[in-house]
Amino acid sequence: MTTLSDTTSYFVSVLSEMELDTPVRCAPEHHPAITVVRTDDGVFAIDDTCTHQDTSLSDGWVENCAIECPLHETCFDLRTGIPQGPPATRAVATHPVSVVDGLVYVLLARGASVSNPSAQDATDAA
């Protein structure tokens, strides 16, 4: 489990400059790329790579708080990272987002990959 003391803040954007339902790809140093999306439900951050094939989710479409992989159309819930249908069966990791004074930050684990319970295999969650 990742605690806040194990994280570092990564600046993404000014909130007012983020278009609704438009993915923003970020490439923090020493961390896999992430996709950040502002929706009507909030701002969410997930790993950028589809768990089915090596495709950037930031090239996908956003609707109803889910992002659709542009290659095989699996939709991932932005809140949990869990795929909503095949062909992907594994969730993408999600990351906490903080908005401070109109600035959007993603909290990333220091060092290696993020330990995230929502990134478990979707079949485990069923």
- Tell me the pLDDT band of 118, cut-offs 50, 70 and 90: very low
pLDDT digits (tens, 9 = 90+) for 10-21: 999 999 999 999
- The yes-or-no verdict on residue 116 having pLDDT over 60 is no
Q: What is the pLDDT of residue 117?
A: 38
Distance CA 104, CA 89 (A): 30
Contact 110, 8 (CB under 8 A): yes
Contact 39, 50 (CB under 8 A): no
Q: Is the dihedral of CA 78, 112, 96, 60 positive or negative?
A: negative
Q: What CA dihedral angle connects 103, 33, 86 and 70, to 10 degrees?
A: 80
Distance CA 93, CA 107 (A): 12
Burial of 75 (0-12, 13-18, 19+ CB in 10 A): buried
Q: What are phi and psi of 107, to 5 degrees?
A: -90, 115
- Tell me the pLDDT band of 7, cut-offs 50, 70 and 90: confident
Mean pLDDT of 57-74: 95
Q: What is the pLDDT of residue 43?
A: 98
pLDDT digits (tens, 9 = 90+) for 79-109: 999 999 999 899 999 999 999 999 999 998 8
Q: How high is the mean pLDDT of the chain?
A: 86
Contact 39, 65 (CB under 8 A): yes
- The yes-or-no verdict on residue 4 having pLDDT over 60 is no
- The yes-or-no verdict on residue 111 having pLDDT over 50 is yes
